[in-house]
């Protein structure tokens, strides 16, 4: 019991607050599909730009729409885009990284130089380029952010994989007649998974910031969809008049990023302490 | 008899509430070597760390440690640091990690001289050279401006010893100082310890699991078992007539190493011809790991491959297992070439040869259960087996190697070193191979576990007619498990013959030096 406590004390100090923050925001986004505090399709000019009150805890915007409802709607897009971008990075980057670690030489070189090439492009500029060519919209945002996740996951997977390939159990698996591909899938992937999962949490928080940035400059999702970045964009001109319009979306972004970073840090610590025990 | 240099009374240590040492008492006199011997987990290293005050913060220490008339427990933190730095020298098992890779060896030896002896620049330089000479590095041409990576393992350990004795300590604690080294290097270093004890009147505490080393080196021995000293006395007396049953078992295990009996059949299982392996691309920088290596092995026969580290043993083994493609030559298993085979043919070939690696944690996928580990080679059968069939085979083979079938659902880190090696053997056995290649398979084990594994291997060979290729640096093991021996030096075979003959009358001077350097329990006591 005490051993278990000692092992998990530090990781849990990160994981619990991180998970709570993430869970609250994800729930807010999910609930928005079935229920909202107020109908945001109705314009109510009489109640515009109201400060936080019992009726509208996050105040109202310039069209009199409920701030809390808008934040909940924004959570859908902000978290959804980040999730899809991480999924794209994982889906393409991890197989590439496994392949690079399994096949030394030419394939490794190709995958890694391809990653370097992507890294060489400034991320924001490239995203703007993609948006300019194919137009704004949620799918394009996902692609723009996700492309930059691919080399990150490829490099992390390759690095963790190369360490595993050196170990004697891989030699044992080869003697047992396993090919490089099945060794990569059966042995390397799940031993590299801790590192990949911790990286995914970090990429998640970076995805949220990237989406907010693109939406803020008007290249993200378009009306009537909401996102936290778009809310910030709309609050821009009114910030002197109604600061709450900027404060609450900003807080949502901050808490989401904090939550995912804590989660990533905690998972990393948990895997580390398990490794030490062995 | 002089009074004790180091007197330890009722030393008890518990770490995080768990008792490790239960009241030890022993003395070390100036100029003598006291060996602390025992199996892993007996508390040898904890004792050394307690004397040097290097135990983790969570440790609770009780008792009394008196060094040269000074009670260490009653000293202030600062006084202790001075005493430990000046009067106690330490040497650990792994010489590479004990040295700083970006500092020259001269700078590293000079560090304690500046801190504890407060010598000036010129004096330090002179003293460093004297110390390098003392540990026999000057005659090997090793100057103070060399870096650790330029030195061999044995030379690095000599640097570590030079650092340990730099401030003329009264006590030298050496924790398994030669375990990671070749036998010839080990013999030289043990001689150096004896010289230091006799000429400089240093008291040496030598920690080792190897009773043959004790017999050849130590004046007195204290045998540890489960955190207690169970027997202490003159090394010869204790080892000749052990009184405690645990010591008796350890000594018996040494002299009771099994003797190999085999009935090789006519058909050949392994043929290696003109094997060639070079590393590096350009001819000028190429390193030849194997050169023109040829030998063959009959079914049921066992071959030992011996040599020092860097002799090409492991490269040869990797080539036999098909893990590494040689630049030339061929490996044929039961008549078929290992490198030509593809697909189904390749699988059929690989069913005939399996491997057991040196234990360490890396030998098994940490996330696999024992059942998944031992059934992995079933892949080579080329047919899918049902879950229950796999489990049944796993249980049968685990029982075959002396484990209970019920361990199948447990994980490798729950087992001791000897048990893990049984699991590795079970994994190799499950597809009933004709040949098992063993890479230092028992070197990391305690003497009693070692004997049990060797007996198991001999029984399997006798019952199933399995051949072994047994790679080791330890000549004392080959007699128990092999029929024939090849001796490798710098990638070339320098001697080959029946194991018994090679050990009794080595022809090549390299083999002779290996045989002479191998600690021999019986020889040392006679």
State the average pLDDT over residues B3-7.
Answer: 85
For B341, the token pair is 């085979």
Computed over every residue of chain B, the mean pLDDT equals: 87
Q: Which of A175, A187, A277 sits opposite B355 (nearest CB)?
A: A175
pLDDT at A267: 86
| Residue from B362, B393, B413, B439 to probe the interface with A (highest A Cβ count within 10 Å) | B362
Q: Which residues of B153-177 are buried (b: 16+ CB within 10 A; e: fewer)?
A: bbbbbbbbbbbbbbbebbbbbbbbb
Q: State how far the alpha carbon of B351 is from the alpha carbons of A48, A93, B430, in Å.
A: 79, 35, 10
**Cα–Cα dist B78/B76, whole Å:** 5
- Smallest CA–CA distance from A192 into chain B, residue: B367
- The helix (run of H) or strand (run of E) holding residue A48 is none
Q: State how far the alpha carbon of B173 is from the alpha carbons of A106, B45, B195, in Å.
A: 51, 10, 15
What SS3 class is residue B271? strand
Q: In this structure, is residue A1 part of a structural domain?
A: no
Residue B88 CB neighbours (<10 A): 24
pLDDT of A89 strictly over 90: yes
The string of pLDDT tens digits covering residues B173-204 is: 999 888 878 888 888 889 999 998 998 889 99
Q: In this structure, is residue A44 part of a structural domain?
A: no
pLDDT of B286 strictly over 80: no
Q: Which of A167, A175, A277 sits opposite B362 (nearest CB)?
A: A167
pTM attached to this predicted model: 0.79
State the average pLDDT over residues B275-283.
Answer: 79
pLDDT at B2: 54
Computed over every residue of chain A, the mean pLDDT equals: 87
Q: Per-residue confidence at B38, pLDDT binned at 50, 70, 90? A: confident
State the average pLDDT over residues A130-148.
Answer: 87
CATH number of the domain residue A177 falls in = 1.10.3720.10
pLDDT of A1 strictly over 50: no
Q: Which residues of B39-69 are buried (b: 16+ CB within 10 A; e: fewer)?
A: beebbbbbbbbbbbbebeeebebebebbbee
Q: In this structure, is residue A73 part of a structural domain?
A: yes
pLDDT at B1: 44
Q: In this structure, is residue A7 part of a structural domain?
A: no
Q: In this structure, is residue A45 part of a structural domain?
A: no
Q: State how far the alpha carbon of A160 is from the alpha carbons of A180, A182, B274, in Å.
A: 16, 17, 37
Chain B CB contacts of A163 under 8 Å are: none
Chain A CB contacts of B365 under 8 Å are: 169, 173, 187, 191
Please state, for a pLDDT cut of 70, what percent of chain B lies above it. 97
pLDDT at A28: 92
Name the DSSP class of B284. G
pLDDT at A274: 61
Given an 8 Å threshold on Cβ–Cβ distance, is B357 in contact with A168?
Answer: yes
Q: In this structure, is residue A230 part of a structural domain?
A: yes
Q: In this structure, is residue A47 part of a structural domain?
A: no
For A223, the token pair is 């009306």
pLDDT greater at residue A46 or residue B399: B399
pLDDT of B205 strictly over 60: yes
The string of pLDDT tens digits covering residues B482-505 is: 999 999 998 899 999 999 899 889
Q: In this structure, is residue A2 part of a structural domain?
A: no
The string of pLDDT tens digits covering residues A163-197 is: 888 888 898 898 888 888 889 998 999 889 888 99
State the average pLDDT over residues B99-104.
Answer: 87
Q: Per-residue confidence at B284, pLDDT binned at 50, 70, 90? A: low
Given an 8 Å threshold on Cβ–Cβ distance, is B379 in contact with A171?
Answer: no
Q: Per-residue confidence at B360, pLDDT binned at 50, 70, 90? A: low
The string of pLDDT tens digits covering residues B141-176 is: 888 888 888 888 888 888 999 998 888 899 999 998
**Cα–Cα dist A175/A278, whole Å:** 25
Chain A CB contacts of B342 under 8 Å are: none
pLDDT of B231 strictly over 80: yes
Domain enclosing residue A157, as ranges? 14-31+59-272
Q: Per-residue confidence at A275, pLDDT binned at 50, 70, 90? A: low
The string of pLDDT tens digits covering residues B293-344 is: 999 999 989 999 998 877 888 889 999 998 888 888 899 998 888 887 777 8
Q: Per-residue confidence at A97, pLDDT binned at 50, 70, 90? A: very high
**Cα–Cα dist A274/B524, whole Å:** 45
What's the total number of domains in chain A?
1
CA dihedral B173, B217, B250, B457 (to 10 degrees): 100
State the average pLDDT over residues B421-432.
Answer: 92
Chain A CB contacts of B427 under 8 Å are: 172, 176
- Per-window interface: B 387-416 vs A, CB < 8 A: 413
pLDDT of B104 strictly over 60: yes
Q: For A15-19, A54-58, A252-256, B428-432, which range has the lowest pLDDT when averaged over its residues?
A: A54-58
Structural domains present in chain B: 6-254 (3.40.50.300), 267-352+436-444+467-526 (3.40.50.300), 358-432 (no CATH)
Chain A touched by B321 (CB under 8 Å): yes
Chain B CB contacts of A184 under 8 Å are: none
The string of pLDDT tens digits covering residues B58-71 is: 788 888 889 888 88
The string of pLDDT tens digits covering residues A37-48 is: 888 777 778 777
């Amino acid at each position: 019991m005490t051993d278990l406590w000692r092992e998990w004390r530090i990781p849990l100090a990160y994981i619990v607050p991180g998970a709570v923050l993430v869970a609250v925001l994800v729930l807010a986004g999910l609930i928005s599909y079935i229920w909202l505090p107020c109908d945001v399709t109705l314009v109510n000019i009489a109640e515009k730009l109201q400060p936080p009150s019992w009726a509208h805890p996050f105040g109202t915007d310039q069209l009199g729409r409920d701030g809390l409802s808008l934040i909940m709607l924004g959570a859908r897009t902000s978290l959804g885009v980040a999730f899809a971008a991480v999924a794209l990075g994982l889906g393409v980057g991890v197989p590439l990284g496994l392949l690079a670690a399994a096949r030394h030489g030419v394939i490794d070189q190709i995958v890694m130089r391809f990653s370097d090439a992507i890294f060489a492009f400034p991320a924001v500029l490239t995203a703007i380029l993609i948006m300019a060519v194919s137009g704004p919209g949620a799918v394009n945002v996902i692609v723009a952010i996700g492309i930059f996740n691919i080399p990150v996951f490829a490099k992390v997977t390759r690095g963790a994989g190369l360490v595993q390939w050196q170990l004697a159990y891989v030699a044992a698996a080869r003697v047992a007649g396993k090919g490089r591909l099945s060794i990569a899938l059966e042995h390397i992937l799940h031993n590299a998974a801790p590192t990949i999962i911790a990286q995914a949490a970090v990429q998640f928080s970076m995805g949220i910031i990237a989406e907010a940035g693109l939406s803020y400059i008007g290249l993200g999702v378009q009306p009537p969809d909401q996102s936290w970045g778009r809310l910030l964009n709309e609050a821009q001109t009114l910030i002197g008049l109604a600061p709450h319009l900027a404060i609450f979306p900003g807080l949502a972004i901050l808490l989401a990023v904090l939550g995912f970073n804590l989660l990533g840090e905690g998972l990393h610590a948990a895997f580390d302490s398990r490794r030490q025990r062995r | 008899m002089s009074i004790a240099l180091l007197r330890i009374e009722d030393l008890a240590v518990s770490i995080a509430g768990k008792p490790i040492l239960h009241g030890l008492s022993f003395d070390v006199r100036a100029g003598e070597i006291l060996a602390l011997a025992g199996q892993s987990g007996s508390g040898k290293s904890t004792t050394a760390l307690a004397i040097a005050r290097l135990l983790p913060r969570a440790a609770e220490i009780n008792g009394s440690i008196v060094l040269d008339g000074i009670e260490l427990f009653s000293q202030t933190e600062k006084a202790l640091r001075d005493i430990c730095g000046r009067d106690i020298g330490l040497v650990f098992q792994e010489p590479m990690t004990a040295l700083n890779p970006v500092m020259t060896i001269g700078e590293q030896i000079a560090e304690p001289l500046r801190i504890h002896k407060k010598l000036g620049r010129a004096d330090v330089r002179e003293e460093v050279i004297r110390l390098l000479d003392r540990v026999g590095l000057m005659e090997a041409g090793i100057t103070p401006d060399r870096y650790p990576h330029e030195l061999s393992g044995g030379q690095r350990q000599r640097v570590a010893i030079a650092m340990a004795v730099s401030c003329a300590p009264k006590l030298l604690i050496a924790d398994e100082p030669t375990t990671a080294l070749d036998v010839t290097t080990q013999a030289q270093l043990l001689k150096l310890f004896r010289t230091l004890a006799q000429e400089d009147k240093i008291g040496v505490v030598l920690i080792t699991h190897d009773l043959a080393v004790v017999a050849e080196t130590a004046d007195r021995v204290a045998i540890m078992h489960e955190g207690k000293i169970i027997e202490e006395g003159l090394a010869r007396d204790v080892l000749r007539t052990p009184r405690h049953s645990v010591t008796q078992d350890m000594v018996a295990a040494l002299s009771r190493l099994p003797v190999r009996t085999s009935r090789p059949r006519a058909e050949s299982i392994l043929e290696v011809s003109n094997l060639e392996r070079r590393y590096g691309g350009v001819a000028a920088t190429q390193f030849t790991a194997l050169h023109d290596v040829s030998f063959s092995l009959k079914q049921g026969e066992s071959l030992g491959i011996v040599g020092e580290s860097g002799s090409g043993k492991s490269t040869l083994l990797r080539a036999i297992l098909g893990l590494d493609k040689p630049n030339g030559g061929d490996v044929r298993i039961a008549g078929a070439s290992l490198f030509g085979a593809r697909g189904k043919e390749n699988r059929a070939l690989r069913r005939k040869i399996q491997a057991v690696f040196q234990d360490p944690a890396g030998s098994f996928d940490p996330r696999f259960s024992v059942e998944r580990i031992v059934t992995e080679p079933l892949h080579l059968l080329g047919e899918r087996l049902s879950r229950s069939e796999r489990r049944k085979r796993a249980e049968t083979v685990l029982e075959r190697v002396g484990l209970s079938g019920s361990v199948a659902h447990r994980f490798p880190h729950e087992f001791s070193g000897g048990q893990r090696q049984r699991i590795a053997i079970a994994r190799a056995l499950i597809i009933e191979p004709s040949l098992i290649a063993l890479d230092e398979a028992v070197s990391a084990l305690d003497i009693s576990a070692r004997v049990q594994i060797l007996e198991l291997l001999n029984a399997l060979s006798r019952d199933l007619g399995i051949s072994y290729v047994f790679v080791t640096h330890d000549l004392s093991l080959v007699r128990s498990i092999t029929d024939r021996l090849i001796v490798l030096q710098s990638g070339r075979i320098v001697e080959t013959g029946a194991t018994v003959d090679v050990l009794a009358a080595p022809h090549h001077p390299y083999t002779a030096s290996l045989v002479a350097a191998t600690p021999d329990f019986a020889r040392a006591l006679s």
